[in-house]
Structure 1
Amino acid sequence: MKSWSIGVFGLVALAAIVASTFVSREAMVGVGIAASAVVGIGWPHFLAIPAKKTLASVIALAGAGSAVSAAYMTAPGFLDGTPACLALGVMAVFVIQLVRGTGQAQRLESTLGCCAGVLLNCLGAGWIAGARFNGVKEMVLVAGLSAAAALLVGIIRWPDRIVAPIGVVAAGLMAPLAGLVFSDIAVVPAALVGVVVGSVLVCFRRMATLRRGRLNALASAGMGVAPVWAVGAIAYFIDKLLIY
């Protein structure tokens, strides 16, 4: 599958995530569970590791649990359940590797890679927490538009040394512009969100281009959704620390 398909998967996921925050809590939970499932299934395929089905279940369940807890936890501890889901997911990954036994192929890569997948999937709950924070969704929209700008730049089939700085700049400019048009968020916090979100997304683009071999549809979907889902925590914490 072509590398640009990763960006397309990311844009579709981003649109669904942001749109769900303006619909209902149930919609956010549904999209969160779906995104967690896509990341859970696709991440082991991207890593090309053994025991894909078992590890996919762990990653997906950890992300889904974090999303559900963020939707129903009482304020202000919207993400209080996320550390528990993260810890349980990491422990489950280690248990699976112990059950596989010593001498198994790619045991270290599988452990480290899947722990990273659990972390990314659990961080996605930040989108839901951000939407519930003060009942104001402007930061979700600002973060979503800046992420879309970085993803659109990332689809361009240019070298990473060109795409990366353009993607960061585009996201950094889109965020304050969106903040001025759609909300009263100050320019500096909005620009910070855009730069950080754009930096994360272009780094994952680099990670995808370094991966050897062709990607199947599951790997492309997982790699496309994972960074988009994870950056929700960035928007939430910047909103909470710099704006509230």
Structure 2
Amino acid sequence: MKSSTAGLIGILALVLLVAGHYLGLGYAVGVSIGLAAVFGYGWPYYLGIPAKKTLGTVIALTGAVAALTAGLTSGVDYLVWTPIFIAVGFGAIMVVQLIRGTGQKHRLESTLGSGAGVVIAGFTCGWVASFRFLGEPGMTLIVAIGAAVALMVGMLPWPDRVVAPLAIVLAALAGPLAALMFSDVRILPAIVLGVLVAAVVAAFRRLRTLTGHQKLSFGSVAAALAPVLSMGALVYFVEKMLLS
């Protein structure tokens, strides 16, 4: 998949997630479940590991259940169940790896890669928790705009050693501008948010470039969604630290 296509998929996912602040909790939960499911089923295909359907089901279910409970949990600890679901998902991954009959030589790599998918899918629920915690989109827009800038820079056909610093610098500038326009968040926290999300995007872009160019497929779509979904927990916990 070309970097431009991956960037467009990531930006579309950001738009769908941020729209939850305007369309309601039910929409936010539904979109998070849908994106987690798409990512979960595609991630094993991207990694090229055995037992793709079984592992994909485990990853997708982890993300979907985590997003659902984040939307339904009473009280203020919206992610209280998320670590449990991630742990159960990782345990299920290990069970699948133990009982499957193919690819024994690469069992460790398959376990670690699938486990990373469980964590990423589980972190998707942070976008739902962010909606419930804030109720208004100011902070989420700062993160989304910084991430979108980093994704657009990542679409450039340049080496990672050039794209990564450029993405971090431009996202650090975009964060304060978004803060001035959409919220009362101070400049320094907005810069930190921009740097953090750009670093996440740059890291996943590097992962894609290391694996080489792939055709547009279910697996490559999952790779494009990975940085956006993994930001969910980051968004929520940074918001809690800054606003609590």
TM bucket normalised to smaller: over 0.9
Residue 147 of structure 1: how far off its partner (Å): 0.6
Unmatched tracts of structure 1, length 5 or more: none
Deviation at 1:135, TM superposition (A): 2.2
**Aligned ranges 1:151-162 → 2 under 5 Å:** 151-162=151-162
**Does the CA contact (< 8 Å) of 2:18 and 2:137 recur in 1?**
no
Match of 1:66 in 2: 66
For the residue of structure 2 that corresponds to 1:184, the secondary structure is coil
- How far residue 217 of structure 1 moved from its aligned partner, in angstroms, is 1.4
Query: What is residue 203 of structure 2 aligned with on the other side?
Result: 203
Conserved 8 A contact 2:50-2:102: no
Structure 2 gap segments, 5+ residues each? none
Whether the 8 Å contact between 1:147 and 1:201 is mirrored in structure 2 is yes
Q: Measure the CA separation in 2 of the matches of 1:174 and 1:155.
A: 17
Aligned position for 1:138: 138
1:95 pairs with 2:92: no
Partner of 1:128: 128
Would the aligned equivalents of 2:214 and 2:220 in 1 still touch at CA under 8 Å? no
3-state secondary structure, aligned to 2:88: helix
In the alignment, is the contact (CA less than 8 A) between 1:189 and 1:238 conserved in 2? no
Deviations 1:59-92 (A, max 9, x none): 0000011111111112310100111110110011
Residues 175, 191 of structure 1: 8 Å contact kept: yes
Aligned position for 1:241: 241
Residue 229 of structure 1, CA deviation = 1.0
Aligned to 2:15: 15
Name the amino acid aligned to 1:184: D
Tell me if the contact between 2:39 and 2:221 (Cα under 8 Å) persists in the aligned partners: yes
SS of equivalent residue, structure 1 residue 96: helix
Cα deviation, residue 141, structure 1:
1.1
Residue 38 of structure 1: CA displacement? 1.4
TM-superposed CA distance for 1:227, in Å, is 1.1
Question: How far did 1:128 drift?
Answer: 0.9
CA distance in 2, matches of 1:116, 1:128: 20
Look up the match of 2:42: 42
- Is the counterpart of residue 167 in structure 1 residue 128 in structure 2? no
Root mean square deviation, CA, Å: 1.4
- Share of identical aligned residues, percent? 45
Deviation at 1:212, TM superposition (A): 3.5
Relative to structure 1, the CA distance from residue 74 to residue 15 in structure 2 (aligned partners, 3 Å threshold; closer, same or farther) is same
- State how far apart, in whole Å, the 2-side matches of 1:223 and 1:12 are: 14
Q: What one-letter code is carried by the residue in structure 2 that aligns with 1:142? A: I
Partner of 2:218: 218
Q: Give the number of aligned pairs.
A: 244
Is the partner of 2:176 in helix, strand or coil? Answer: helix
**2:51 corresponds to 1:55:** no
- Give how far 1:238 is off: 1.0
Aligned amino acid, residue 167 of structure 2: G
Q: In structure 2, what is the equivalent of residue 148 of structure 1? A: 148
